[in-house]
Amino acid sequence: MAGLNAPLRPLASSALSSTASFASRIVLLLTVLPLSLAAFAFVLQWRGWVDDPSSAWPSERETFPGMDNSPMGSSAESVFSSVSRSSSSDCLEILGRSSSPSLPYYGGWNQDSEADLRPKICVTTSTSAGLEQILPWLYYHKVIGVSKFLLFVEGTAAKPNVSAVLESIPGVKVIYRTAELEDKQAKSRVWNETWLSGFFYKPCNYELFVKQSLNMEMAIVMARDAGMEWIIHLDTDELLYPAGAQEYSLRRLLSDVPSNVDMVIFPNYESSVERDDIKDPFSEVSMFKKNYDHLPKETYFGMYKEATRGNPNYFLTYGNGKSAARIKDHLRP
């Protein structure tokens, strides 16, 4: 038996040697090929045959749309000059988070191309937030189809360096809380609304709700005069999400609403904070409490105690959703 097996040993050794040689050639090929491609690309770029992607970015600073021809152009120009010098600026904080912009700031956007798009949607808000919150909110809703924004501003939002940027953006109207505005609202019929009387002359969110209702009353008139067809009130910490519409288009969603329907209600979801170091809630928060209208009753009541964590309300704020209203002569807040 030993004599029969002896001639097989050199054959086995030869096979192993051949396999090792083949493997080493494959490794060598895989090593040399990427290096060769990298060297070839370097030569092409060095000779100017390939454009450097970084050269596609404009060398000059980017301005917000409408900055150059805005009536606030001169003050807005100084805003951006101060931005380039101050690291504490709101604008610098948003635009300087990364080497490439994460939100569309409409460079070269042809605003006239939106003139004939229907329906025309207006969003109104009452805010005291800064640019780091308002700009992402504003441009997001611009992308999904909002035509006009009516911003009732006070506090930080009313500061010259903030309002100048907002006023420079096409489709945005800034309304300041002046003595004239307060005098006009003091004569509003809102004060005679019985459904709102329980909120009068009370602090915190009660006062805010009354102020929002007064602003909304004025916004309806302004939106109607501007030729808008739908109006929505949103806070600047809220995003409208038309998930059921094709291309996530709010304009497409509302265009499909029958003409005899004057209101669409969007059930609201409330964010659940997963950590305490969130800087940008619009991009970092990913967990939400579903509205009870979107939950099976068994799930809602079965997990109510765990979800509320001792708070008597399922949501910390409100749970009745947000309304988009068709602008009619009889429309009221």
Could you read off the pLDDT of 142-163 as tens digits, one per residue? 999 999 999 999 999 999 999 9
Q: Note the helical H segments in 51-147.
A: 73-85, 90-95, 131-144
**90 domain residue, yes or no:** no
Flag whether 157 is in a domain.
yes
Confidence (pLDDT) at 321: 87
Instruction: Kindly state whether residues 303 and 244 are assigned to the same domain.
Output: no
Query: Does residue 149 lie within any of the structural domains?
Result: yes
Q: Could you say which DSSP state residue 177 is in?
A: -
Evaluate whether residue 280 is within a structural domain. Answer: yes
To the question of pTM greater than 0.95 for the whole model, the response is no
pLDDT on residue 180: 92
Instruction: Indicate if 249 and 120 belong to the same structural domain.
Output: yes
Task: Tell me what pLDDT residue 314 has.
Answer: 77
Task: Check whether residue 226 and residue 143 sit in a common domain.
Answer: yes
222 and 310 part of one domain: no
**164, 189: one domain:** yes
Question: What pLDDT digit, counting tens, does each position of 51-60 carry?
Answer: 554 444 444 4
Whether residue 23 lies inside any domain: the answer is: no
Largest Cα span, the chain: 117
Do 180 and 199 reside in the same domain of the chain?
A: yes
In a domain, 125, yes or no: yes
Q: Which residues pair with 175 in a beta bridge?
A: 152
3-state SS, residue 319: coil
Q: How would you label 308-328 residue by residue, b for 16+ Cβ within 10 Å and e otherwise?
A: eeeeeebbeeebeebebbbbe
Residues 172 and 277 both lie in one domain: no
Does residue 121 sit in the same domain as residue 258?
yes
Residues 229, 118: contact at Cβ < 8 Å? Answer: yes
Q: Which residues of the chain fall short of a pLDDT of 70? A: 1-17, 45-115, 194-206
Alpha-carbon dihedral angle through residues 150, 153, 156, 158, given to the nearest 10 degrees: 100
- CA 159, distance to chain mean position in Å, is 22
* Shared-domain flag, residues 185 and 302: no
Q: What is the CA radius of gyration of the chain?
A: 30
Please indicate, yes or no, if residue 132 is contained in any of the structural domains.
yes
**Domain containing residue 144:** 116-266+320-326
* 176 lies in some domain: yes
Nearest to 123 by CA among 8, 231, 197, 256: 231
Tell me the three state secondary structure of residue 218.
Answer: helix
Same domain, yes or no: 155 and 203: yes
The structural domain count of the chain equals 2
Helix, coil or strand: residue 326: strand
Question: Same structural domain for residues 177 and 303?
Answer: no
Q: What pLDDT score does 93 carry?
A: 42
- Predicted pLDDT of residue 141: 97
Quote the pLDDT of residue 94.
40
* Residues 198 and 245 placed together within one structural domain of the fold: yes
